[in-house]
Amino acid sequence: MNKTYTPNEFETAIYNKWLEKNYFSAEPNKEKKPFCIIMPPPNVTGQLHIGHALGDTIQDAIIRYKRMKGFETLWIPGTDHASIATEVKIIEVLRDEGITKEELGREGFLKRAFEWKDKYGGKIVEQIKTLGCSCDWDRLAFTMDEERSRSVKQVFINLYKKGLIFKGNRIINWCPECHTAISDAEVEYVEDPSHLWHIAYPVTDSNEKIIVATTRPETILGDTAVAVHPSDKRYKHLVGKTVDLPLTDRKIPIIADSYVEKDFGTGAVKITPAHDPNDFNVGKRHDLPLIKIMDESGILNENAGIYNGLDRDEARKQIVKDLSDRGFLVKTEDYNHNVGHCYRCHTVIEPMVSEQWFVKMDELVKPAIDAVKKRDITFIPKRFEKQYLHWMENTQDWCISRQLWWGHRIPVFYCDDCGETIATVENKAFCPKCGKPMRQDEDVLDTWFSSALWPFSTMGWPEKTPDLEYFYPTSVLVTAYDIIGFWVSRMIFSGLNYTGKKPFSDVLIHGIVRDAHGKKMSKSSGNGVDPLEVIRTVGADTLRFSLVNGIAMGGDIKYSEEKQEGYRNFMNKIWNAARFVLGNCDGAEIIPIEKVKKTLADKWILAQLNSTVVKVTKYMDKYEIGLASAELYEFVWNIFCDWYIEFSKTSLYSDDLNKRNSTISVLLYVLRETLKLLHPIIPFITAEIYNELPNKDAEDIMISPYPTAKRNFVSNVTIKKIRLITDTIRSIRNMRAELNVPQSKRTEIYIKPNDGVEDTVKAGINYIEKLASGNGVHIVDKAPQGNMNLLVTEIGEIYIPMDQLIDFEKERERLNKEMEKVDAEIERAQSLLSKESFVSKAPALLIQKEREKLQKYTDMKKLLTQKLEMLK
């Protein structure tokens, strides 16, 4: 093995070997239980970012664990066409060439788009590979490939035929930059400091004025009513009259509607049905006309009179000025409110009336709510269930049409001649009724429409494929909480309604990766960590480990360079532990672990390993990867390296060949099993070391059997015994450090064991000598003569000759400090035990323990007092 840990030298080679050996591919296999995950598809032209790295690490850890556990394990990878995001990017590229998409035309544009996708798409696939993900690449899917398109069309047509998809003129969110409708879920609300303008509308043929408050004065040109609350006394007499709409020559009615809040603003609201969702509803109730005053780019149109041609921002300024000049503007208040922005380009959304396709949700939503309520689908952690249900229960009809070209074109054909409209999988050039040419709907579908089908479209639905039969429903979906509404909920209702089965059993929700200060990572704030850069410098294993170690599911993660460095050190630790073990193997005979004649330390490490296996397995089964990895970190570093490897040196460097063989056999066994436990989380380093092992139990670690708990390794007695020994060693080291005894100074050690631990002391004598800088350890039955330092420990009294080490002052200080601690403990126990209420109500076992403790500390106090007397 290389002297230093250099992940760059082996990670790629190992991954390629895995690919070559076909370890990632899965086939329906009746002999085994299936376990399947579908990967949330990243944007096909995107770059791997830290969020993907987190999700993919979690998924890969689960997949590798299940694979080693003997499941037929399938992880389907794929990419998403990401309609708006990609189209925006391509338009940018075209702009640099000085072309618009309109100039290219639909066909030309799509040709370019596909070329672009072929060139840059798939880069992210290579990036996912560097992370070590064990996906079945033969099944790589793309949301817009042929198979997936078939699924999309089929679903559309089914829903259309059931009347669950319809075309309607409704108010939708329009992005004037992307030139398309977007769904409610795609609108982001951002607080924006603005004003509340109070405008006086003169009541027709009267001196009265009605004052309305608005944040959007420019929409005054589209007003078709003024609304007040029906019970508002201030305005009751005006209902039914009209006002003269300022800046126009129109008269609009004053209506009463309970939508109006009496206490907000002036209690009177201008109603602009064509440009506000609430006003749209009011307009519907009162049969108000719609006046659309803006075009698709947010430029005021011919309905805006003299303002025709102004952009909506300019129009606002101009209109406020004109209102003010003509005396209509009564007051301008500062006002912060939330404004909807496009989640892709962050342009302010314009609510507009337009003809779009919608999915009727009420019917689809019901089974999706039930499945979660009945726990047929479980959210982990559970609290996200609430978020999901809330989203589901409040969902509106889903606007699925987009005025874009990059996407699934709506499979609806119109005959302009006879008016026939059909939805069909096959492209229809001519009308089946009259034979005239047909025209396909121009719009494409919302990206999420195809993502919603991902769990079964990736398996070939609507065909009844063997995959679908065997792997569907999938086992667990892993994703971040920010797309529960966008994606998770839509997959659930889609799966249940179209396949009749839930798409997955568990939904594992993880958090978002933040920077060291807890800020969201983003390109604009420049605080993003590039996972590829991290992999290049410290390796994929370090990145993976720093993303998942210690995390709680659903919680956000703070990523910092220090963390990364710490875990790189951990990899180095593993590497060196392996080097130590392998470096001592030469010429040794490897004995099967059951047959090894075990020392106390051997039994102890096997018991510790066993309890680690139990805990890690329990955690992995619950998808608690963060806890599993923390457990392993502790085991590798603080148990195996800090203690067992040190213990092992006493027999490894002895002349007894049998001892040597036994010890190296235990070392190799523990190392191998530990590597396997670690493998799902840090696949590369574990595979690299495993390949060097003389005791491999499989061709490759990733297909080796996962460690199982072994009953005959369990030994609580051994664990207790070693704890006494390590505590003893620690106490001696502690004393030496406090007395400033130099490391090189070795001393004799006398131990007067407490009753019942004589054997333990005997068994640990070599360890104590080696690890506590001893030079001969003697077991005695009374305090030895001469100047001695005293340690009162659980194992007994320990005496160390002072000789040259004497520093009476320091030793007194040390003993006094001990005394303080002991006194505090005695007082605590006494006060507890003297309370009648405690003694009568607390469990007997606890009282017993407290009594024992009191006794122990009282004994210690006695000894310490004696010793202090002597020092005077």
Partner RNA sequence: GGAGGCAUAGCCCAGUUGGUUAGAGCGCUUGCUUGACAUGCAAGAGGUCAUAGGUUCAAGUCCUAUUGUCUCCACCA
Nearer to RNA, 193 or 742 (CB): 742
Q: Minimum CB separation from RNA for residue 368, in Å?
A: 16
Which is nearest to 211 in space by CA: 237, 246, 256?
246
387 binds RNA (CB under 7 A): yes
Q: For residue 391, what are its two tokens?
A: 């989203």
For the purposes of burial, counting CB atoms within 10 Å of the CB of 215, is it exposed (0-12), middle (13-18) or buried (19 or more)?
middle
Nearer to RNA, 250 or 262 (CB): 262
Q: Minimum CB separation from RNA for residue 200, in Å?
A: 14
Q: Which of 383, 433, 536, 622 binds RNA (CB under 7 A)?
A: 383
Q: How many residues bind RNA (CB under 7 A)?
A: 89
Nearer to RNA, 410 or 829 (CB): 829
Q: Which of 22, 207, 394, 804 binds RNA (CB under 7 A)?
A: 394
User: In whole angstroms, what is the distance from residue 521 CA to residue 136 CA?
Assistant: 30
- Chain-centroid distance of CA 128 in Å reads 16
β-strand partners of 476: 506
Query: What is 426-457 written as a DSSP string?
Result: S---B-TTT--B-EE-S-EE-HHHHHTTHHHH
Peptide bond into 246 cis (omega under 30): no
Strand order in the sheet with 474-480: 378-380, 504-510, 474-480
Q: Minimum CB separation from RNA for residue 677, in Å?
A: 17
Beta strand 187-202 with 398-399 is: unpaired
Please list every residue from 337 through 376 that binds RNA, using CB under 7 A: 337-338
Q: Which of 145, 147, 177, 184 binds RNA (CB under 7 A)?
A: 184
Q: Which of 48, 63, 377, 577 binds RNA (CB under 7 A)?
A: 577
Q: Minimum CB separation from RNA for residue 791, in Å?
A: 12
Q: Which of 583, 694, 705, 784 binds RNA (CB under 7 A)?
A: 583
Q: Minimum CB separation from RNA for residue 360, in Å?
A: 17
Contact pattern from residue 553 through residue 572 relative to RNA, giving x for each residue in contact according to CB under 7 A and a dash for the rest: --xx-x-x-xx--x-xx-xx
- Chain-centroid distance of CA 771 in Å reads 43
Q: Do residues 558 and 570 touch, judged by C-beta distance below 8 A?
A: no
User: In whole angstroms, what is the distance from residue 521 CA to residue 636 CA?
Assistant: 32
Q: For residue 151, what are its two tokens?
A: 């699924």
Q: Minimum CB separation from RNA for residue 855, in Å?
A: 12
Q: Which of 114, 189, 430, 808 binds RNA (CB under 7 A)?
A: 189
Nearer to RNA, 25 or 278 (CB): 278
- Chain-centroid distance of CA 685 in Å reads 24
Please list every residue from 742 through 801 that binds RNA, using CB under 7 A: 742-744
524 binds RNA (CB under 7 A): no
286 binds RNA (CB under 7 A): no
Q: Minimum CB separation from RNA for residue 228, in Å?
A: 8
Q: Do residues 377 and 370 touch, judged by C-beta distance below 8 A?
A: no
807 binds RNA (CB under 7 A): no
Q: Minimum CB separation from RNA for residue 217, in Å?
A: 9
CA distances from 256 to 223, 235, 236, 323, 766 (A): 15, 9, 8, 25, 94
Which is nearest to 221 in space by CA: 133, 132, 318?
318
Nearer to RNA, 10 or 156 (CB): 10
Nearer to RNA, 425 or 739 (CB): 739
Residue 110: CA atoms inside 13 Å, Cβ hemisphere, count?
10
Q: Minimum CB separation from RNA for residue 743, in Å?
A: 4
Per the document, the length of the chain is 872
Nearer to RNA, 599 or 728 (CB): 728
Which is nearest to 241 in space by CA: 204, 211, 270?
204
Residue that the structure tokens 């075209």 belong to: 94
Nearer to RNA, 156 or 545 (CB): 545
Please list every residue from 218 through 277 that binds RNA, using CB under 7 A: 259-262, 264-270, 276-277
Q: Which stretch binds RNA (CB under 7 A): 18-26, 103-111, 164-172, 390-398?
A: 390-398
Please list every residue from 627 through 646 that binds RNA, using CB under 7 A: 630, 634, 637-638, 641-642, 645-646
Q: Which stretch binds RNA (CB under 7 A): 121-129, 318-326, 413-421, 516-524?
A: 516-524
Query: What is 255-311 written as a DSSP string?
Result: EE-TTS-TTSTTSEEEE-TTS-HHHHHHHHHHTPPP---B-TTSBB-GGGGGGTT-B
Contact pattern from residue 688 through residue 727 relative to RNA, giving x for each residue in contact according to CB under 7 A and a dash for the rest: ----------------------------------------
Q: Minimum CB separation from RNA for residue 442, in Å?
A: 28
Q: Which of 308, 580, 591, 762 binds RNA (CB under 7 A)?
A: 580
Please list every residue from 16 through 55 that binds RNA, using CB under 7 A: none
586 binds RNA (CB under 7 A): no
Q: Minimum CB separation from RNA for residue 403, in Å?
A: 22
Q: Which stretch binds RNA (CB under 7 A): 84-92, 137-145, 213-221, 244-252?
A: 213-221
Phi, psi of 226 (to 5 degrees): -120, 135
Q: Which stretch binds RNA (CB under 7 A): 291-299, 456-464, 575-583, 760-768?
A: 575-583
Q: Minimum CB separation from RNA for residue 621, in Å?
A: 15
User: In whole angstroms, what is the distance from residue 109 CA to residue 90 CA?
Assistant: 9
Q: Minimum CB separation from RNA for residue 772, in Å?
A: 9
Query: What is 727-745 written as a DSSP string?
Result: HHHHHHHHHHHHTT--TT-
Please list every residue from 816 through 855 that binds RNA, using CB under 7 A: 821, 825, 828-829, 835, 837-838, 841-843, 846, 849, 853
Peptide bond into 784 cis (omega under 30): no
Q: Which of 21, 390, 433, 851 binds RNA (CB under 7 A)?
A: 390
Query: What is 208-258 written as a DSSP string?
Result: -EEEEEES-GGGGGG--EEEE-TT-TTTGGGTT-EEE-TTSS-EEEEEE-T
Nearer to RNA, 68 or 574 (CB): 574
Q: Minimum CB separation from RNA for residue 369, in Å?
A: 15
Q: Minimum CB separation from RNA for residue 209, in Å?
A: 16
Q: Which of 93, 434, 516, 871 binds RNA (CB under 7 A)?
A: 516
Beta strand 774-779 with 747-753 is: parallel
Which is nearest to 539 in space by CA: 10, 20, 18, 1?
10
Q: Minimum CB separation from RNA for residue 192, in Å?
A: 10
Contact pattern from residue 726 through residue 745 relative to RNA, giving x for each residue in contact according to CB under 7 A and a dash for the rest: ----x--xx--xx---xxx-
Query: What is 643-708 written as a DSSP string?
Result: IIIHHHHHHHTSS-HHHHHHHHHHHHHHHHHHHHHHTTTSHHHHHHHHTT-TT--SSSGGGSPPP-
DSSP 132: T
Q: Which of 250, 286, 649, 752 binds RNA (CB under 7 A)?
A: 649
CB atoms under 10 Å from CB of 700, counted, come to: 16
User: In whole angstroms, what is the distance from residue 346 CA to residue 550 CA?
Assistant: 35
Q: Which of 306, 345, 429, 552 binds RNA (CB under 7 A)?
A: 552
Contact pattern from residue 120 through residue 159 relative to RNA, giving x for each residue in contact according to CB under 7 A and a dash for the rest: ----------------------------------------
Beta strand 412-414 with 439-440 is: antiparallel
Nearer to RNA, 146 or 562 (CB): 562
Q: Which of 142, 470, 481, 669 binds RNA (CB under 7 A)?
A: 481
482 binds RNA (CB under 7 A): yes
